[in-house]
Amino acid sequence: GENVEQHPSTLSVQEGDSAVIKCTYSDSASNYFPWYKQELGKRPQLIIDIRSNVGEKKDQRIAVTLNKTAKHFSLHITETQPEDSAVYFCAASWGGGTSYGKLTFGQGTILTVHP
């Protein structure tokens, strides 16, 4: 089955700096890679996703890049703000057999943005 590794586990930045979180996956058949933001006690919220036929996607201050050859993808947040502080999870979805759509999550990154 799929295995997703996420680094770093904690990340502390100053307001206005950039933050980068990296994930690697094991199954080359994975073709969908979402990122979720989870605030304390809240639901995971989908913030951006990328599909395997695209190398990069951007949405305002958030961007995701995908390297299929190396099997890794990254989340980039620019001009960070204190409200970006949360736990961020990457995930991979394997489109095969009966597991179609099932998400395998990374371990999470606790991002703290200091004012």
Partner 1 sequence: NAGVMQNPRHLVRRRGQEARLRCSPMKGHSHVYWYRQLPEEGLKFMVYLQKENIIDESGMPKERFSAEFPKEGPSILRIQQVVRGDSAAYFCASSPRSGRNEQYFGPGTRLTVT
Q: At its nearest, how many Å lie between partner 1 and the CB of residue 32?
A: 4
Site residues for partner 1, 80-99, by CB under 8 A, read 89, 93, 95, 98-99
The strand pairing partners of 94, in sequence order, are 30
Cβ contacts of 63 within 8 Å, gap of 6 or more:
48, 56, 57, 75, 76, 78
Site residues for partner 1, 16-55, by CB under 8 A, read 31-32, 34, 36, 42-46, 49, 51
- In the block, tokens 């190396």 appear at 70
How far is Cα 83 from Cα 88, in angstroms, rounded to an integer? Answer: 13
- Exposed (0-12), middle (13-18) or buried (19+): which is 13, by Cβ within 10 Å? middle
Task: Please identify, using beta-carbon distances, which residue of 16 and 55 lies nearer to partner 1.
Answer: 55
Q: Judged by CB under 8 A, which of 19, 21, 103, 113 binds partner 1?
A: 103
Helices and strands (DSSP H and E) totals, the chain = 0, 11
Q: At its nearest, how many Å lie between partner 1 and the CB of residue 41?
A: 8
Task: Please identify, using beta-carbon distances, which residue of 19 and 108 lies nearer to partner 1.
Answer: 108
Residues engaged in binding partner 1 (CB under 8 A): 31-32, 34, 36, 42-46, 49, 51, 89, 93, 95, 98-108
